[in-house]
Structure 1
């Protein structure tokens, strides 16, 4: 799951549009926004999951 969240950020930085990224990632825009918000609230947790794989 952590990799997926990092891919979300990478895609968002490339596309620069929440709605386009949501479409590209096959989720609704509101679901994508929630994922980004949750990831931004706890970046160390996401990072540590990736590092410890």
Structure 2
């Protein structure tokens, strides 16, 4: 059976989180090491993704 890559529903999950250092594709963790609720990510990660996309398009 062919291996399939997981579907990423949140575009910010494509980059590494600068705050909690979670790898691309992994959800962000809080200070205790637990996943954030409802697949949320840190604002820093979202901003980093937007900046990266803007630089790529320019």
Q: For this structure pair, what is the TM-score category when the shorter chain's length is used for normalisation?
A: 0.3 to 0.5
Structure having the higher helix fraction is 1
Larger Rg: 2
Give the structure, 1 or 2, with the largest relative contact order (CA under 8 Å, sep 6 or more): 1
* TM-score, reference length from structure 2: 0.33
* TM-score, reference length from structure 1: 0.35
